[in-house]
Structure 1
Amino acid sequence: MFGYGKKKEEKAELLELKNIRLNCRPGEKDEVIRQVGQLLYQSGCVDESYIDAMLKRELSFPTNIGNGIALPHGVEEAKKTIKRSGIAVMVFPDGTDWGGEKVKLVIGIAGSGEDHLEILSVIAECLADPADVDRIMGYSAEEIHAMFTGKRCS
């Protein structure tokens, strides 16, 4: 699903299995953003400074998009700290507070170049229906991985 302009054999995996966290406990929004940003950093997608850029984005424009989903990502000027595109997924079965909205799925995004829009498009396609988010609550990490890497959408 995510070809983002590179030959298939050169393409780094957008979502690595190790970047999926199931059964997360609710926490402060800033701490959740730090955790999902840390996953992107540890997998080599971004410089560590990108995490601060994610927090800065949240101050200027909240990243909850409805349907129990939040898509934290860095501010525009932080694009230079992205080493390669990637996402990290945190699943909160009981929800976590995101500025007054209960969020069950947090997807941290690091999109280099035009990849950012393609990533958002695939996320929107896979999670268009609120029932999709509820369904993911019961998925294994492998099923979530398959969904976002194009092997299966819902």
Structure 2
Amino acid sequence: MNQNASNQNASNQNILQPTNVVARGTATSRDEAIREAGALLVASGAVRADYIDSMFEREASVSTYMGNYLAIPHGTNKAKESILRSSLSIVRYPEPIDWNGKPVRFAVGIAGLNNEHLQILSKIAVVFSDQSEVQRLLEAGSSEEIFTLLEEVNE
């Protein structure tokens, strides 16, 4: 099997892929962070570009800030047709971003087919509810290290 076919198979199985993890995001505002997390989902082929618009709609109706430096921007229920497969994107920021007055260092974009986003959300919530895990993610030296720490979401 060639490398391309191998990557294609992996991308169909794994919700989190190494290419969707960014250790040093460039956004400096909430809206830029939503766009950055959404763009990774689009680039990986998980969602169509209009999904990002629904991420902004969701944020306008309810903040996706979760605590422990985490925000989980995701689309509205009516954006389901824009989701091609379940996926995650993770962007870590060197400085906290102001998320409606709360500090965010991780924007985790989520797209879930058939309500899979609920299962994905619960796995991310478990990791980020543990302060020592959050600290390990903050101290990770690379995107690869962040991916390794969060790879369990693929199980």
Q: Shorter-chain TM-score: which interval?
A: 0.7 to 0.9
Deviates more, 1:59-68 or 1:17-26: 17-26
**Number of the residue aligned with 1:81:** 82
Q: Which secondary structure does the structure 2 equivalent of 1:77 belong to?
A: helix
CA deviation string 1:59-101 (max 9, x = no partner): 0000001111000000110011100000000101321111110
1:1-154 counterparts in 2 under 5 A?
11-139=12-140, 140-150=142-152
Q: Match for 1:61: what amino acid?
A: V
**Number of the residue aligned with 1:5:** none
| Percent pairwise identity | 38
Q: Under a length normalisation based on structure 2, what TM-score does the superposition of the two structures give?
A: 0.85
Query: Does the 8 Å CA contact 2:42/2:49 hold for their aligned counterparts?
Result: yes
Query: Does the 8 Å CA contact 1:26/1:95 hold for their aligned counterparts?
Result: no
Q: Which secondary structure does the structure 1 equivalent of 2:88 belong to?
A: strand
Tell me the matched-pair count. 145
Shift of 1:133: 1.8
Q: Distance in 1 between matches of 2:16 and 2:132?
A: 22
Unaligned runs of 5+ in 2: 1-8
Query: Does the 8 Å CA contact 2:11/2:17 hold for their aligned counterparts?
Result: no
CA deviation string 1:4-48 (max 9, x = no partner): xxxx98942211111111122451211110111010001000010
Deviation beyond 4 Å, 4+ runs, structure 1: 8-11
Q: Distance in 1 between matches of 2:132 and 2:10?
A: 34
Q: Under a length normalisation based on structure 1, what TM-score does the superposition of the two structures give?
A: 0.85
Q: Which secondary structure does the structure 2 equivalent of 1:114 belong to?
A: helix
Q: Distance in 1 between matches of 2:14 and 2:112?
A: 13
Deviates more, 1:39-48 or 1:124-133: 124-133
Q: Which secondary structure does the structure 1 equivalent of 2:95 belong to?
A: strand
Query: Does the 8 Å CA contact 2:137/2:149 hold for their aligned counterparts?
Result: no
Q: Match for 1:86: what amino acid?
A: S
More helix per residue? 2
Query: Does the 8 Å CA contact 1:95/1:103 hold for their aligned counterparts?
Result: yes
**Number of the residue aligned with 1:3:** none
Change over 3 Å in CA distance of 1:117–1:10 after alignment to 2: same
Q: Match for 2:77: what amino acid?
A: E
Query: Does the 8 Å CA contact 2:74/2:109 hold for their aligned counterparts?
Result: yes
